[in-house]
């Protein structure tokens, strides 16, 4: 089966043309070899490595699909070998709120001036 068609059936990409762009862009590896043609055949037991969103996916092909079915059916076509990454720690003093508001900055300025005056 064509690798772009398999990636589409396994629901890694929303359209077949998106999966073909990843392949023709040289961003896909099959068993460690760079592939640049969307017509490259993929078989059971092959390991695919490709970027998806902000992570690198490592997938082992378990079966060929008959159609693009529901997600539960698509998940039976592969085994995910992607290593689990630890979340990136936040910077010191960051509560996850983002940029301080005007009110927060005023309070910070007040705290700084009271410390200097004491």
Q: Where are the beta strands (DSSP E) in 1-118?
A: 28-30, 33-35, 47-52, 55-61, 78-80
What does the pLDDT look like over 15-59, one tens digit per residue? 999 999 999 999 999 999 999 999 999 999 999 999 988 889 999
Ramachandran angles phi, psi of 51, nearest 5°: -85, 140
Under 8 Å between Cβ of 34 and 26: yes
Query: Residue 43 contacts by C-beta under 8 Å, 6 or more apart in sequence?
Result: 61
**Which one is predicted more confidently, 33 or 88?**
33
């Amino acid at each position: 089966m064509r690798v772009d068609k398999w990636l589409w059936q396994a629901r890694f990409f929303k359209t077949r043309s998106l999966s073909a762009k990843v392949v023709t862009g040289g961003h896909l590896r099959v068993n460690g070899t760079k592939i640049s043609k969307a017509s490259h055949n993929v078989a059971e037991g092959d390991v695919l490595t490709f970027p998806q969103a902000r992570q690198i996916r490592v997938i082992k092909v378990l079966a060929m699909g008959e159609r693009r079915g529901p997600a539960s059916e698509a998940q039976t076509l592969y085994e995910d070998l992607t290593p689990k990454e630890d979340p990136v720690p936040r910077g010191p003093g960051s509560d996850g709120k983002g940029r301080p508001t005007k009110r927060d900055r005023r309070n910070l300025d007040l705290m700084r001036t009271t410390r200097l005056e004491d």
